[in-house]
Structure 1
Amino acid sequence: MKSFGGPILCLDRSDINTDEIIPAKYLTEITKEDLKPYILEDLKLPGFDPKGEKTLTARVIVSRGNFGCGSSREHAPWVFEVNDITAVIAESFARIFRQNMFNCGMAAIELPAEQIDTLMKYAAFPDTIIAIDIERQQITVRGGGQEEQFAFDVSPFDKALVLAGGWVDYADQKY
């Protein structure tokens, strides 16, 4: 079974759109793998480097509200997939982006603003790791000698998609 979690990348802003996740000029690439070097290339945040170590080693993104807004392109989750990002945790998601994440077998987890604030504080610790238990719907964050847990909700169908590895694998198992 796929493991969810790992080092985090905190993007402390709302309304991060799909053009910032993967710029439109790369949508003509032939394979998902061709998208890999362009992850978050157009995202402008103080101190953020799309080619930096935190971006390249991240397996979980933590952000604010309305993550993935903008165009309804599958390329945004795809660029996360080929960069081994297994989950995005945010206050809320654009509806189509959220479903595209589940369809690709990745977790799109919504938490209240207070819990996102707590996760953002963990960004100060270089050893911070998030573990996500999809079955139990629980997140564990560890860093700086501290540990906290949060529960999250996900529909049974979306959970099944993620656990199966995405829509295609789910359909292969069920039909």
Structure 2
Amino acid sequence: MEKFEKLTGIAAPLPLINVDTDMIIPKQFLKTIKRSGLGVNLFDEMRYDDDGKEIPDFVLNKPQYRETEILVAGDNFGCGSSREHAPWAIKDFGIRCVIAPSFADIFFNNCFKNGILPIALPQEQIDVLMKDAEKGSNARMIVDLENQTVTTSDGEVFSFEVDQFKKHCLLEGLDDIGLTMEKAAAIDTFEAQAANARPWV
């Protein structure tokens, strides 16, 4: 998993509340078990019309937001079903940080496991970030995980809280498999000792 330390990028405004996982990645795209290739279908029903053509007014279809790496969204982001394809699609599009007043718990935890930093901030701070994001590609935010800050293009700084274990995993690029592999030597030692103690197993 890619390490997350400091991100300087374009932020896209998505001022919608209760964006559920079916809006993030509709059910017809859940057949794959690959983490790649889902970015093109992120927010599919909002991005494309019935003929598969882009809807120009949708934020991620606008030229200034095609390279978005930060998403500023409304309350209760990621609600609905627990599909892990939702963070897969977000990451595959290129978004590495989602900032909102609140998140659904399962989606929130799935983000960390897939290299995405979800940040919960008070609504008044979200309002400031939303206005900053509306400036387009000329305005870039800075998300600093080590120092737990978000800085607007105008230099206004907001601090955020993050679980220290989850922070460690993102900083080191460790998903569940990576965490297990950190203990590979201890696992090998245990297996060798177990084999010697119980050769009949």
TM-score by length of 2: 0.78
> Aligned in 2, Cα 1:98/1:54: closer, same or farther, shift over 3 Å?
farther
SS at match of 2:87: helix
The Cα shift of 1:11 comes to: 0.4
The Cα shift of 1:33 comes to: 1.9
Q: 2:114 aligns with which of 96, 104, 112?
A: 104
Distance 1:25 1:91 in 2: 29
Q: 1:8 aligns with which of 7, 11, 28?
A: 11
Hey, which of these two has a bigger chunk of strand by percent?
1
Q: Which residue of 1 aligns with 2:166?
A: 158
Matched, 1:87 2:97: yes
Q: CA deviation digits over 1:4-36, x for unaligned, max 9?
A: 341011100110010111111001135222212
Task: Tell me which of the two structures has the higher relative contact order, counting C-alpha pairs closer than 8 angstroms and 6 or more residues apart.
Answer: 2
The worse-fitting range, judged by mean Cα deviation, of 90-99 and 44-53 is 44-53
The Cα shift of 1:108 comes to: 0.5
Q: Letter of the aligned partner of 2:182 in structure 1? A: Q
Q: 2:143 aligns with which of 113, 125, 132?
A: 132
Distance 1:31 1:161 in 2: 22
Q: 1:24 aligns with which of 13, 27, 30?
A: 27
Q: Which has the larger radius of gyration?
A: 2
Percent identical across equivalent pairs?
A: 36
SS at match of 1:42: helix
Aligned residues: 172
**Residue segments in structure 2 that go unaligned for 5+ positions in a row:** 48-54, 185-201
Matched, 1:173 2:176: no
Query: Retained in 2: the 8 A contact 1:41–1:50?
Result: no
Query: Retained in 1: the 8 A contact 2:60–2:68?
Result: no
**Residue segments in structure 1 that go unaligned for 5+ positions in a row:** none
Matched, 1:66 2:69: no
Q: Letter of the aligned partner of 2:62 in structure 1? A: G
The worse-fitting range, judged by mean Cα deviation, of 58-67 and 117-126 is 117-126
The Cα shift of 1:153 comes to: 0.1
Q: 1:148 aligns with which of 145, 153, 156?
A: 156
> Aligned in 2, Cα 1:31/1:130: closer, same or farther, shift over 3 Å?
same
> Aligned in 2, Cα 1:133/1:50: closer, same or farther, shift over 3 Å?
closer
The Cα shift of 1:123 comes to: 2.6
RMSD, matched Cα: 2.1
Distance 1:75 1:110 in 2: 21
